[in-house]
Amino acid sequence: MNQSKKTIDFGFSEVPLEEKVKRVKGVFDSVAGKYDVMNDVMSLGIHRLWKRHTIELSGVRPGQTVLDLAGGTGDLTKAFAKRVGKSGRVVLADINESMVRVGRDRLINEGIAGNVEYTITNAEALAFPDNTFDLATIAFGLRNVTNKDKALAELYRVLKPGGQLMVLEFSKVTQPLLAKAYDFYSFNILPKMGKLIADDEASYQYLAESIRMHPDQDTLKQMMLDAGFDKADYLNMNEGIVALHRGWKY
Amino acid sequence: MPHTTPQTPGLFSLSLSKTVEFALNQALRLDEAQGAAFKDFEDKTFAVTFTDLGLTLYLFFTSYGVNVQNALQGEADARIETDLPSLLGLRETGRLSRVTLHGDVPLAEALIDALTSIEIDWEEHLSHYTGDLIAFKVGHATRSAMAATQAAKRQAGETLKEYLQFELEVLPTASQLQRFGDSVQRTQAAVDAIETRVQALLDRL
Ligand SMILES: C[S@@+](CC[C@H](N)C(=O)[O-])C[C@H]1O[C@@H](n2cnc3c(N)ncnc32)[C@H](O)[C@@H]1O
């Protein structure tokens, strides 16, 4: 098929495939510096709790090798680096150089060095050999990836047998009333706050829309199984505002 | 590798593990011997089970400090079974009054000695949990749900505070900082308003 004719959702507006990659990059370029603030705003400040939950559930231990894909400014990388220690290794991989730069500077500033590598990489074509990682995470990143099936298959490939993938992502709110309230928040309040904080209403609008377009819990679980994972499950956090999907390679 | 599945990893055990981690790291930072007693534990993993709470925390040391979490892939090197009153009494009595050790027993003993040697007021650190702990122990669905909600609320407040206190420096310039300060106030007000509305909606269910 002629790829350039193929359109794909960019938030609610359909755009040609290669346009999406560029636009997503644009969104993150424009927010990289204030990204951490944005995360707090988007999640009402509780993304830290969701991340902590993810880290703890990973059961990560000293000496392990971890991939933090779409790692952005490195929240998870930082926590994993402390946990795997000097005998382990964490790779922060992201498609966007400005995000990685902000992340690297921040981590070095905080004394995290020696066991972290930074690499610019597209989730759809990971530059790592098969069976490399004990654990791979992609937090608030999958919804921005154009070809999610390809990314999931790549994640499966780079995991060691016995390894685990954790996908943390905004998902479908299960409680109807809360779903309404949350929608109202994302589409009316969030972009306004984006304007206030980052002077960037459009990016926040995109974020709200991309959340809405992201596959729901069961769809994503099935996508993981289709990508090769031998087992997959998910758990909802805050009524499904965010879901943590886990996939295992045996 | 077998995966040690955690007990339902609710917000309660999550914030407990975070508190224990914080308490230990703080004590190590303040320790006169700079945590020398813990030097030999690098990369060693411990499972500490509170039998009265039916809850296990996994604890391990790297060069960055102590980590505490409620799951661990594979087996811990040493397992310590005790209960909360024993931990709370550690400082006063200099030992865990009720304890069983498994796995690498000398290693577990060494950890307990090291823990005894540093100044940690467990009672103080865990004081705001005592209500929650009781709720947790009773295991009554509503009461533990309430405890979880309280913990979540406290946590959300804390993260924002932590954020404001320690991470403002990510913002590049003074004028942006000023603008950020203003918008945080407005954001906070908006968040509060939303929270109230969501709560009101939930209350009507
Ligand atoms: C919302 S941020 C999340 C960052 C971080 N994981 C966190 O939770 O704080 C999304 C990240 O995904 C990255 N990203 C988007 N598309 C990507 C792709 N195809 N491959 C790798 N990273 C991608 C963006 O550059 C951005 O840093």
Which residue, by CA, sits nearest to atom 4 of ligand 1?
A: A72
Across the range A219-223, mean pLDDT stands at 98
Provide the 3-class DSSP secondary structure of residue A71. Answer: coil
Query: What pLDDT shows up at residue B117?
Result: 86
Query: What pLDDT shows up at residue B150?
Result: 59
Nearest-angstrom CA–CA distance, B131 and A189: 36
Q: Which of B13-27, B45-59, B120-134 has the lowest mean pLDDT?
A: B120-134
Q: Which of A22-31, A78-87, A147-156, B34-43 has the lowest mean pLDDT?
A: A22-31
In-domain check, residue A9:
yes
Whether A19 has a pLDDT exceeding 70, the answer reads: no
Looking at every residue in chain B, the average pLDDT score rounds to 71
Across the range A63-84, mean pLDDT stands at 96
In-domain check, residue A199:
no
**Which residues form the domain of A71?**
3-174+206-248
User: CA angle, corner B57, sides to A167 and A133, nearest 5?
Assistant: 35
Question: Which one of A9-23, A25-39, A194-208, B34-48 scores highest in mean pLDDT?
Answer: B34-48
Are residues B62 and B28 in contact, defined by beta-carbon separation less than 8 angstroms? no
Whether A35 has a pLDDT exceeding 90, the answer reads: no
Interface of A with B in 113-152 (CB under 8 A): 134
Is A189 in Cβ contact with B71 (below 8 Å)?
no
Give the atom of ligand 1 at the shortest distance from the alpha carbon of A99: 27
Higher-confidence position of B125 and B46: B46
B135 CB near a chain A CB, below 8 Å? no
Q: Is A128 in the pocket of ligand 1 (CB under 6 A)?
A: no
- Closest CB to B71 among A48, A57, A63: A57
Query: What pLDDT shows up at residue A106?
Result: 92
Nearest-angstrom CA–CA distance, A214 and A8: 12
Whether A121 has a pLDDT exceeding 90, the answer reads: yes
Q: Which of A61-70, A131-140, A187-196 has the lowest mean pLDDT?
A: A187-196
Which residue, by CA, sits nearest to atom 25 of ligand 1?
A: A96
Whether A36 has a pLDDT exceeding 70, the answer reads: no
The CATH number linked to A98 is 3.40.50.150
Are residues A149 and A223 in contact, defined by beta-carbon separation less than 8 angstroms? yes
Burial class (CB in 10 A: 0-12, 13-18, 19+), A223: buried
Nearest-angstrom CA–CA distance, B119 and B53: 24
Whether domain B11-128 has CATH 2.40.30.10:
no
Q: Is A28 in the pocket of ligand 1 (CB under 6 A)?
A: yes
In-domain check, residue A134:
yes
DSSP string, chain B: --EEPPS---HHHHHHHHHHHHHHHHHHHH-TTTTGGGGGGBT-EEEEEETTTTEEEEEEEETTEEEEES-EES--SEEEEE-HHHHHTHHHHSS-SS-EEEESHHHHHHHHHHHHHS---HHHHHGGGHHHHHHHHHT-HHHHHHHHHHHHHHHHHHHHHHHHHHSGGGS--HHHHHHHHHHHHHHHHHHHHHHHHHHHHHHT-
Whether A102 has a pLDDT exceeding 70, the answer reads: yes
Domain count for chain A, please give it.
1
Looking at every residue in chain A, the average pLDDT score rounds to 85
Is A181 in Cβ contact with B14 (below 8 Å)?
no
Are residues A208 and A193 in contact, defined by beta-carbon separation less than 8 angstroms? no
Nearest-angstrom CA–CA distance, A181 and A193: 16
In-domain check, residue A237:
yes
User: What's the Cα-to-Cα distance from A216 to each of A98, A208, A211, rounded to whole Å?
Assistant: 30, 15, 10
ipTM higher than the 0.85 cut: no
Using pLDDT thresholds of 50, 70 and 90, give the confidence band for residue A57.
very high
In-domain check, residue A54:
yes
Query: What pLDDT shows up at residue A45?
Result: 62
Nearest-angstrom CA–CA distance, B4 and B15: 19
What is the whole-number distance in angstroms between the Cα of residue A12 and the centre of ligand 1?
19
Query: What pLDDT shows up at residue A182?
Result: 78
Whether A54 has a pLDDT exceeding 90, the answer reads: yes
Using pLDDT thresholds of 50, 70 and 90, give the confidence band for residue B79.
very high
